Amino acid sequence: MSGTSPMPSLPQGGIVGLDATRMMAAIRDRHISCREVMEAHLDRIALVNGRVNAIVSLRDRGELLTEADAADADLRRGLWRGPMHGLPHAVKDLAPTRGLRTTFGSPIFADHVPNEDALFVERLRAAGAILIGKTNVSEFGLGSHSYNPVWGTTLNAYDPALSAGGSSGGAAVATALRMVPMADGSDFAGSLRNPAGWNGIFGFRPSQGRIPSLPGPEGYLQQLATDGPMARTIADLALLLSVMSGPDPRAPLSLAEPGLAAELPPGRAEGARIGWLGDFVGALPLEDGIVPLSQAGLSALEAAGCRIDEARLGISRDEIWACWLVWRHVLVGSRYRPLYDDLIKREQIKPELIWEIEGSLGLSADDLYRASMTRTRLYQRFLALFADFDALALPSAQVFPFAQAKPWPTIIAGTSMDTYHRWMEVVVPATLSGCPTICLPLGPWAPDGRSSGLQLIGRPGQDRALLCIASAFEEVSRPSERLPS
């Protein structure tokens, strides 16, 4: 190792056991080199990825070490590229990456190599990250179980017999097993939240417009999906969020405020009021153990200084779900309609996407307007609750990780699921609200060792305040200490 002062003692696991923020400080102080960091992570991938299938499109080791050497050379010249200088990073396989294979988990795009980056990927590169490959997803991001005909299935970090969740399953598992320091994910129907909980890490869905989605042909309706960070610690989550966030004039609904700063004040939650949305939870079919697990998470928040009270959402489950189906059909179905109209390509897309597209065909402008009215009422109801609460709490999933060979749960607590995503209905209110939402990992706390999470929904635009509450939870719960080896 290089450097002018002694390297602080490494945690168990060596370099890959460092938090990203500590790793970056060690690189900047030249206690460790970018080459050493890259070698350590590539060795870790070689050791564990074969059993979980989280990293795909992995680049050549020699090329990556050459890029790491160039990052070290810049440091010797006094050039600091940014807050991710030399860090290895794998991008979710739904985000375009210039010159790097991007399949969306679809055989239609199995050999697709984009000629431009997604906006947040541009920002990762500008911050000094070295892209090593991609993380596995569900096909086109549909369904909260990361399997597809191109790469196969990503397996749970705790138990490879179980699902990793999705669609950011590869990102969650790669982060939990220390194959990457942290990862980007994306979230429409819990795709950041569910896999984070199931694999024991934090997943953050930022406020609507915090991380603009570019490039894209439509910039006004596509508000329900967002990119966001996943990490083993809140400090790392804030670091990656600071790189990914910020306005862009090409995205008309991006938040005008600058990207969030990486540094957070010490986690303080004394007196923070948390509302448990028990009326909505009680209306949902839930696997045995989900509510007690959530209550354990609430107890950890109480130990961190929060006050927990019941909160009533005040809008029925059926109204919310009907609204959701319209928005989901319109946004997903319309986006992928060209694939459906091509009969050859239609044969290669999964039934769930065909269902979304065909569901959009009979919708009218009036249907969308009424769904927008319901969404507006829901948002106003959230605002009313935030007059009394600093955050609102729900489980991050209605079930624990299920057998990885199963496409999706068809029955929960004796109730049949009438769509491929009904089993994730608990994430819908937060998505529709556009409010920042974090998954707090609770596991493996279930009696059988499975993990899940607790959603905390914060006030619109108050991402940092929500992260501060999560940081206080982290100090009490210390979830990174329970990650699998």
User: What is the β-pairing status of strands 391-395 and 273-276?
Assistant: parallel
Residue 424 DSSP label: G
Q: Is 98 buried (19+), middle (13-18) or exposed (0-12) by CB count in 10 A?
A: middle
Q: Is the bond preceding 444 in cis, omega lying within 30 degrees of 0?
A: yes
20, 373, 390, 459 from 378: Cα distances, Å: 37, 9, 17, 13
Of the candidates 148, 58, 68, the residue with the CA atom closest to the CA atom of residue 104: 148
Q: Is 433 a catalytic residue?
A: no
Strands (E), 208-356: 226-231, 273-276, 307-310
| Residue (of 400, 413, 398) closest to 447 by Cα position | 400
Annotated catalytic residue: which of 146, 167, 186, 213? 167
Distances, alpha carbon 87 to alpha carbons 17, 34, 184, 189, in Å? 14, 7, 13, 29
Residue 379: count of CB within 10 angstroms of its CB: 16
- Distance of alpha carbon 203 from alpha carbon 339, whole angstroms: 31
Partnered with residue 276 across adjacent β-strands are 310, 393
Q: What's the CA gap between 458 and 231, in Å, rounded?
A: 19
Element (H, E) at 447: none
Distance separating alpha carbons of residues 146 and 484, to the nearest angstrom? 19
Q: Confirm if 462 and 436 have CB atoms less than 8 A apart.
A: yes
| Pairing, β 88-92 against β 152-153 | unpaired
Known catalytic residue: 191? yes
Rounded-to-10 torsion of CA 247, 250, 252, 258 = 10
Can 163 be counted among the known catalytic residues?
no
Q: Which is it for strands 415-416 and 391-395: parallel, antiparallel or unpaired? A: unpaired
Catalytic center residues: 92, 167, 191
